[in-house]
């Protein structure tokens, strides 16, 4: 490998204007050697697409310049790729950046990465192959989000002249990623509501299907777009880059794609880490990937050497500060095991349940708020949140004995029952730690699940696949799990569109039919132990969570030594309305759920007394 070449150059990939600025700062005054030509390319259906061709200054090689097709993110235009194209030209690549139909100044209307856009890409590539001074058989395709999806299109369709692709924050399963397991994520309405996109009429039809919750009909639209079923046709090298916490396209689709491609001996390299949709830009990770991308294109297009080009390498970053980077030849990383926790009335336990448990969770829906209004509010905001009242079930394990690396795909199986014709049972995985204000629940992953055509009262079994992750859980922290019918992305914004009806459900767990989750552990096995969790200043009363709440909340507290404990709730007049505990408790951290379903909304107080220590806090019940 030409190390001097690689250490003095970088290639900008389309992960946002912020990266473009970074590269220009790194190479001031150098990204300038190019010839720019604006063209319009006529598609076979008569639509004109605007494009911009950049070529390096100087004479081309005898066979012509090697080239890169650059595709912008959804709702953008060819201009978004300007700095990238300039940089590519400086480093010896010609490029063609075009505005996808219905975007920028291109004609036509968007069918949202459908077959028409795939045909456009074929025609754009053929136009570029026949352009003056271009090597027609030495091309690559790359882009982020919409551009990543188009890169996969080029690979699965074996488009002419393409030697390698680099899809970024886009999976071949991009369409089904938006409608997982009988549900629709907010990502689909978001993609259908971008102001800078001119949509075709089918967008309105899809909108009506989402509002009416006609899931089977919606899947016809989805299946026409998804690329995962075509992965067996991929024959060119792929370097995919995905973010763990991407709210649109989880890394699971990339993991499956890697397995499919590697099984046939096709070169594939994967990055799983950060910089996905909804994640803040990590400059260090982005710049590392720039160099890795240069290596990829330089090897497969220009013929430069590349270390381990025959291995399906995975670069993954865990989510600790600085995003430490790991390189492994297999996935999941080895040694690997699955740590199982059972859902029981006493919490998450490593031992299978010895008794039966019924763990309730519910969702109350105010029918005065319509599904049409929810679309207009894009499934978030005050009115949307006020229409739903969620009471999840939350369970915690005992503290971990040692640090644990959770890397891979969480799984599980739960047995559920509901009184509704359809209901959702999402499973959310947490890293739980004790803070001065109580237990802090840090979301690690989620699994989206919906049950349709339910027979009320009938027990249903759901096999769970959570979103892949890489997270370190420190010793002393706990594993938490939540089962809920209301899956939020932010405190005031849904991640999954709820069913617009009330449901009262429970997780069932018994010796003969246990409900459980499993976490993928890299390295030593994950173990827990009951321990003395006394900390300096051992007495503390946490703020209830959630607060405000309706009608269920959790109150956490800590005592430094065994004590007689009472925890009581009072109204504004000082009248006792509930006693949550009155017993002798061991030292450590404790958490109690309070269901205020029979009380009027308003301000209440809760008072903890443990021996001679007392503390009072306020909570707010919304009705």
pLDDT tens-place string over residues 336-388: 999 999 999 989 999 999 999 999 999 999 999 999 999 999 999 999 999 99
Among residues 280, 298, 328, the one where a domain terminates is: 328
Same domain flag for 71 and 59: yes
Same domain flag for 25 and 56: yes
Angle at 511 between CA 508 and CA 514, to 5 degrees: 45
User: How many Å apart are CA 118 and CA 369, to the nearest integer?
Assistant: 39
Among residues 266, 294, 328, the one where a domain terminates is: 328
Question: What was the pLDDT predicted at 6?
Answer: 29
Question: What was the pLDDT predicted at 554?
Answer: 84
Question: What was the pLDDT predicted at 161?
Answer: 98
Same domain flag for 287 and 322: yes
Examine the pLDDT at 240 and tell me if it is beyond 50.
yes
Same domain flag for 279 and 180: yes
pLDDT tens string 124-140: 999 999 999 999 999 99
Query: Which backbone phi and psi does 389 adopt, to 5 degrees?
Result: -125, 115
- Per the prediction, the chain carries an average pLDDT of 91
Examine the pLDDT at 85 and tell me if it is beyond 50.
yes
User: How many Å apart are CA 227 and CA 478, to the nearest integer?
Assistant: 39
- Tokens representing residue 529 in the block: 């132990």
pLDDT tens string 516-533: 999 999 998 887 653 433
Question: What was the pLDDT predicted at 527?
Answer: 75
Same domain flag for 150 and 238: yes
Query: CATH no. for residue 117?
Result: 3.40.50.1820
Examine the pLDDT at 10 and tell me if it is beyond 60.
no
Question: What was the pLDDT predicted at 311?
Answer: 85
User: How many Å apart are CA 110 and CA 102, to the nearest integer?
Assistant: 5
> Tokens 């319009």 appear where?
40
- Binned at pLDDT 50, 70 and 90, residue 175 comes out as very high
User: How many Å apart are CA 55 and CA 64, to the nearest integer?
Assistant: 10
- Binned at pLDDT 50, 70 and 90, residue 492 comes out as very high
Instruction: Out of 31-40, 326-335, 548-557, pick the least confident.
Output: 31-40
- Tokens representing residue 559 in the block: 């005592």
To the nearest whole percent, how much of the chain has pLDDT over 90?
A: 79
Question: What was the pLDDT predicted at 33?
Answer: 59
User: How many Å apart are CA 438 and CA 609, to the nearest integer?
Assistant: 16
User: How many Å apart are CA 545 and CA 531, to the nearest integer?
Assistant: 24
Same domain flag for 507 and 538: no
CB 473 within 8 A of CB 277: no
**Which residues sit opposite 97 in a β-bridge?**
52, 70
Same domain flag for 545 and 444: no
Range of the structural domain that residue 10 is part of: 3-328
Q: How many domains does the chain have?
A: 3
Query: CATH no. for residue 453?
Result: 2.60.120.260
Examine the pLDDT at 7 and tell me if it is beyond 70.
no
Question: What was the pLDDT predicted at 137?
Answer: 98
> Tokens 């009506």 appear where?
208
Query: CATH no. for residue 618?
Result: 2.60.40.1930
- Binned at pLDDT 50, 70 and 90, residue 437 comes out as confident
Same domain flag for 203 and 218: yes
Same domain flag for 85 and 135: yes
Same domain flag for 192 and 289: yes
Question: What was the pLDDT predicted at 562?
Answer: 87
Backbone CA torsion sign across 277, 279, 281, 285:
negative
- Binned at pLDDT 50, 70 and 90, residue 251 comes out as very high
Q: State pTM to two decimals.
A: 0.86
SS3 190: helix
Same domain flag for 520 and 583: no
Among residues 531, 546, 569, the one where a domain terminates is: 531
- Binned at pLDDT 50, 70 and 90, residue 397 comes out as very high
Query: How many Å separate Cα 184 from the centre of its chain?
Result: 14
- Binned at pLDDT 50, 70 and 90, residue 537 comes out as low
Same domain flag for 342 and 316: no
Q: Tell me how far apart the terminal alpha carbons of the chain are, to the nearest angstrom.
A: 66
| DSSP β-ladder status, 388-391 and 426-435 | unpaired
Alpha-carbon separation of residue 245 from 16, 115, 580 (angstroms)? 17, 28, 37
């Amino acid at each position: 490998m030409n190390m001097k070449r690689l250490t003095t150059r970088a290639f900008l990939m389309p992960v946002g204007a912020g990266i473009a600025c970074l590269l220009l700062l790194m190479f001031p005054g150098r990204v300038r050697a190019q010839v720019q030509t604006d063209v319009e390319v006529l598609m076979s259906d008569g639509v004109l697409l605007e494009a911009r061709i950049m070529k390096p200054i100087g004479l081309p090689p005898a066979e012509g310049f090697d080239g890169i097709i650059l595709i912008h993110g959804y709702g953008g235009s060819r201009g978004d790729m300007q700095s990238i194209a300039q940089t590519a030209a400086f480093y010896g690549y010609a490029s063609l950046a075009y505005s996808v139909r219905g975007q920028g100044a291109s004609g036509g209307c968007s069918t949202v990465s459908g077959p028409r856009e795939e045909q456009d890409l074929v025609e754009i590539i053929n136009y570029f192959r026949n352009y003056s001074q271009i090597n027609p058989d030495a091309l690559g395709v790359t882009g982020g989000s919409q551009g990543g999806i188009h890169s996969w299109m080029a690979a699965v369709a074996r488009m002419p002249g393409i030697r390698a692709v680099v899809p970024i924050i886009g999976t071949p399963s991009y369409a089904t990623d938006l409608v997982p397991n009988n549900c629709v994520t907010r990502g689909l309405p978001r993609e259908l509501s971008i102001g800078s996109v001119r949509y075709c009429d089918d967008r309105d039809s899809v909108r009506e299907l989402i509002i009416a919750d006609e899931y089977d009909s919606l899947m016809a639209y989805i299946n026409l777009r998804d690329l995962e079923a075509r992965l067996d046709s991929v024959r060119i090298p792929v370097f995919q880059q995905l973010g763990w916490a991407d709210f649109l396209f989880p890394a699971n689709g990339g993991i499956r794609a890697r397995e499919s491609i590697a099984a046939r001996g096709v070169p594939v390299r994967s990055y799983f880490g950060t910089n996905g949709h909804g994640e803040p830009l990590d400059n260090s990770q982005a710049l590392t990937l720039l160099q890795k991308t240069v290596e990829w294109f330089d090897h497969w297009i220009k013929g430069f050497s590349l270390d381990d080009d025959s291995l399906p390498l995975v670069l993954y970053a865990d989510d600790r500060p600085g995003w430490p980077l790991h390189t492994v030849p297999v996935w999941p990383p080895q040694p690997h095991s699955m740590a199982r926790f059972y859902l029981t009335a006493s919490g998450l336990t490593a031992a299978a349940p010895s008794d039966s448990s019924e763990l309730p969770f519910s969702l109350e829906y105010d029918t005065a708020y319509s599904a049409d209004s929810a679309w207009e509010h894009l499934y978030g905001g005050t009115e949307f949140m006020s229409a739903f009242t969620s009471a999840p079930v939350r369970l915690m394990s005992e503290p971990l004995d040692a640090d644990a690396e959770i890397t891979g795909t969480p799984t599980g199986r739960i047995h559920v029952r509901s009184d509704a014709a359809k209901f959702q049972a999402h499973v959310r995985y947490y890293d739980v730690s004790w803070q001065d204000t109580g237990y802090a629940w840090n979301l690690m992953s989620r699994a989206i699940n919906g049950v349709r055509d339910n027979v009320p009262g009938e027990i249903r079994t759901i096999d769970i696949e959570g979103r892949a992750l890489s997270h370190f859980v420190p010793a002393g922290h706990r594993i938490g799990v939540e089962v809920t019918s209301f899956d939020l992305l932010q405190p005031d914004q849904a991640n999954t569109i709820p069913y617009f009806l009330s449901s009262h459900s429970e997780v069932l767990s018994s010796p003969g039919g246990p409900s459980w989750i499993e976490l993928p552990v890299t390295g030593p096995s994950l173990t827990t132990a009951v321990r003395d969790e006394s900390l300096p200043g051992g007495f503390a009363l946490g703020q209830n969570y959630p607060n405000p709440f309706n009608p269920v909340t959790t109150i956490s507290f800590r005592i430094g030594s065994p004590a007689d404990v009472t925890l009581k709730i009072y109204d504004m007049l000082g009248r006792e309305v509930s006693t949550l505990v009155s017993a002798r408790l061991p030292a450590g951290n404790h958490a109690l759920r309070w269901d205020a379903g029979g009380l009027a909304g308003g301000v209440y107080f809760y008072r903890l007394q443990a021996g001679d220590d007392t503390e009072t806090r306020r909570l707010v019940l919304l009705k």
